[in-house]
């Protein structure tokens, strides 16, 4: 495997850890990109990678994205991410979660973890038995609204899609707006339900075809094969699965004037944001539109650390600010004749002291 510091995805990361526990079979990467605003914060991904180098690449890219996401959301947290390398069967054991919790504890609060792809609230609870540097935990009582960040993410993405439709299409209603949703899991599925409630026309796809078909039947939409969703002629293409889909080939396939979705690291490389702009496609920077989840779990974490009751109204207000943040980026991009992705990156870099 290539040394991480020679990788094109290495961006002056402050810390990159390889964690291996022979007894449990745990192998993981933890990457901390920036602690300028606070401890590195970001979820743990549990995924099977054919090549460990792909896992390292994810950890590097996702942790940088978390630096930008937390900064742009106004959170007192830096950027970090963990990736646990799953086997083909995706076997996950209590011993593995315990070992991972011990690894997080050994980082002494420089990294705070939460739920991501392949992880659950139950996994977070198991990790929390070994360390306090974890959030997204199951609710413990009526005053504690913690847990799965997915609904907050999907709500924020929905608000961002609605703003993108206003700015990019000049429409103040989602009624009849055709949205192609890639990925119907926690975030994509929640987004689809929000959109359907507002009268949007939906085309859905997922690598789990049956899941997409069930949701389409529930919402009165159409399901298509996963490999066909990027070719759909629509008003909005909404990526809500894994990242790096907006490369040369992917962008060439798009038949939508707006791209707005919850997936992380949608752009394969920074210049692909320029390609979207050159094609006249309005792009919602992913780490801005999908910040609802990290906003929620950060508020939960801070409330627990400070021994106070979480005020969910404050969390909702912070998620409600996502459309205004996107509008600010698009307005600046228009004024500077620049890609929204470049403008957002410059804003985030300034906030983390790397402007």
Q: Is 81 within 8 Å of 64 (Cβ atoms)?
A: no
- For residues 303 and 314, give the distance between their C-alpha atoms in angstroms, rounded to a whole number: 11
- For residues 57 and 63, give the distance between their C-alpha atoms in angstroms, rounded to a whole number: 10
Which residues are within 8 A (CB) of 300 and not within 5 positions of it... i.e. 6 or more apart?
135, 136, 137, 144, 145, 146, 310
Helix (H, G, I), strand (E, B) or coil at 193: helix
Helix locations, the chain, DSSP H: 52-72, 94-106, 121-128, 150-169, 186-197, 209-219, 248-253, 271-278, 286-289, 292-305, 312-320, 322-336, 340-351
Q: Is 94 within 8 Å of 126 (Cβ atoms)?
A: yes
Q: Is 133 within 8 Å of 107 (Cβ atoms)?
A: yes
Which has the closest alpha carbon to 265: 82, 58, 102? 58
Which strand (E) or helix (H) includes residue 256? none
Neighbouring-strand partners of residue 141: 144
Q: Is 8 within 8 Å of 64 (Cβ atoms)?
A: no
Q: What is the dihedral of CA 287, 171, 255, 155, to 10 degrees?
A: 30
81 is catalytic: yes
Tokens found for residue 131: 């360390």
Neighbouring-strand partners of residue 202: 179
Catalytic residue among 69, 81, 171, 336: 81
**DSSP secondary structure string for all residues of 325-338:** HHHHHHHHHHHHT-
Residue 40: how many other CB atoms lie within 10 Å: 30
Which strand (E) or helix (H) includes residue 122? helix 121-128
- For residues 296 and 259, give the distance between their C-alpha atoms in angstroms, rounded to a whole number: 24
Residues known to be catalytic: 81
């Amino acid at each position: 495997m290539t040394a991480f510091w020679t990788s094109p995805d290495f961006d002056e990361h402050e810390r990159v850890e390889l964690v291996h526990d022979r007894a449990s079979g745990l192998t993981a990467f933890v990457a901390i990109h920036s602690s300028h605003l606070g401890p590195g914060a970001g979820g743990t991904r549990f995924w099977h990678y054919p090549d460990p180098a792909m896992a390292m690449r994810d950890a590097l890219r996702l942790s940088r994205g978390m630096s930008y996401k937390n900064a742009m959301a106004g959170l007192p947290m830096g950027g970090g991410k963990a990736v646990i390398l799953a086997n083909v069967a995706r076997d996950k054991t209590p011993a593995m979660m315990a070992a991972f919790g011990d690894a997080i504890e050994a980082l002494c609060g420089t990294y705070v973890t939460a739920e991501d792809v392949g992880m659950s609230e139950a996994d977070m609870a198991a990790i929390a038995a070994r360390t306090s540097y974890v959030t997204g935990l199951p609710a413990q009582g009526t005053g504690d609204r913690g847990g799965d960040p997915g609904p907050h993410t999907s709500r924020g993405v929905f608000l961002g899609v609605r703003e993108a439709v206003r700015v990019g299409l000049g429409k103040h209603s989602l009624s009849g707006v055709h949205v192609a949703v890639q990925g119907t899991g926690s975030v994509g599925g929640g987004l689809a339900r929000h959109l359907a409630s507002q009268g949007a026309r939906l085309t859905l796809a997922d690598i789990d075809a049956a899941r997409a078909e069930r949701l389409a039947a529930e919402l009165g939409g159409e399901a298509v094969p996963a490999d066909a969703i990027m070719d759909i002629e629509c008003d909005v293409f909404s990526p809500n699965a894994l990242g790096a889909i907006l490369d040369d080939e992917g962008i060439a396939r798009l038949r939508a004037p707006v791209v707005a979705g919850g997936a992380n690291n949608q752009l394969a490389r920074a210049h692909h944001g320029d390609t979207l702009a050159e094609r006249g496609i309005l792009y919602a920077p992913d780490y801005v539109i999908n910040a609802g989840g990290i906003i929620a779990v950060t508020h939960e974490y801070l409330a627990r650390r400070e021994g106070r009751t979480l005020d969910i109204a404050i969390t909702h207000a912070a998620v409600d600010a996502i459309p205004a943040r996107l509008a600010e980026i698009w307005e600046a991009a228009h004024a500077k004749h620049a890609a929204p992705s470049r403008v957002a990156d410059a804003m985030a870099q300034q906030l983390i002291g790397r402007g």
